[in-house]
Amino acid sequence: TGTLHVVATPIGNLGDLSPRALEVLGSVSAVCAEDTRHTRQLLAHFGLERPLVALHQHNEDAQAAQLITRLQAGESLALVSDAGTPLVSDPGFRFVRAAREAGVRVSPVPGACAAIAALSVAGLASDRFAFEGFLPAKTGARRERLARLASETRTLLFYEAAHRIDETLEDMAAAFGPARHAVLARELTKLFETVLDGPLEALLAQVRADPNQRRGEFVLVIDGAGDDAEARTTEGRRLYAKLIEHLP
Ligand code: SAM
């Protein structure tokens, strides 16, 4: 059988496409892309032209079946998304799972990922972290998700789009407390790359004061709940242990 290469593409700076990514993209019989127009332009920039297959949320299962037949017949394919690492808040998970189930070799060509790039410059604890991707768009569901994360001690990573950044910071300040330390990484690897850090309330004030800080693409890196929350949990456990002694 052929190989399915899962290839990371740049998140803004085309210089971040690796030499091996170029080699693989140039050698496969087709490139499966989230947006074929976008990927055609990327390939053209590097002087490459490959047959493209659209693979997005709405046709992934149907396309995957056909693509797996091609892989089983010995063709090699590449999977890319519009930016960064496929499957990370991007399509591809079902295709990859189906390929693995079909016994096809799936091999990564690693590269840019906005979450990891943000984590690498945030200066927050990075030994343990939790990637939360995009929060739900609806206010109620978003606040509920944040409330459930309030006592999480690992560093939290979120993706956010420009039009909701202030609302999200507001909800985070309410759920995690205005003093919780956070890093707002905007337009990484691009011309207007900005990394702001401070308490959530200060970040919210900065974003509110300057419309430029609301433009582009964002990763939010939030400090995990500190000793307070841990202490609360420990205290809770201690009380529970005492209580249970007295229960019949
Ligand atoms: N698969 C991609 C990856 O590996 O990072 C993520 C795709 S997701 C649909 C797009 C989101 O990633 C954006 O809304 C933003 O939150 C984040 N993002 C992508 N590029 C970025 C950049 N250059 N700077 C900051 N955030 C970025």
Whether residue 159 has its Cβ less than 6 Å from ligand 1: yes
Distance 133 CA to ligand 1 centre (A): 9
Whether residue 160 has its Cβ less than 6 Å from ligand 1: yes
Distance 67 CA to ligand 1 centre (A): 26
Question: What is the enclosing helix (H) or strand (E) of 33?
Answer: strand 30-33
| 189-218 per-position pLDDT tens digit | 999 999 999 999 999 999 999 999 999 999
* One-letter amino acid for residue 214 of the chain: R
The band of 245, judged by pLDDT with boundaries at 50, 70 and 90, is: confident
Write b or e for each residue in 23-57: b if 16 or more Cβ atoms lie within 10 A of its Cβ, otherwise e.
ebbeebeebbbbebebbbebbeeeeeebebbebbe
Q: What is the ipTM of this complex?
A: 0.99
Whether residue 12 has its Cβ less than 6 Å from ligand 1: yes
CA neighbours closer than 13 Å in the CB half-sphere of residue 207: 29
Q: If you average pLDDT over residues 154-174, what whole number do you get?
A: 95
Whether residue 158 has its Cβ less than 6 Å from ligand 1: no
Answer yes or no: is pLDDT of 30 > 90: yes
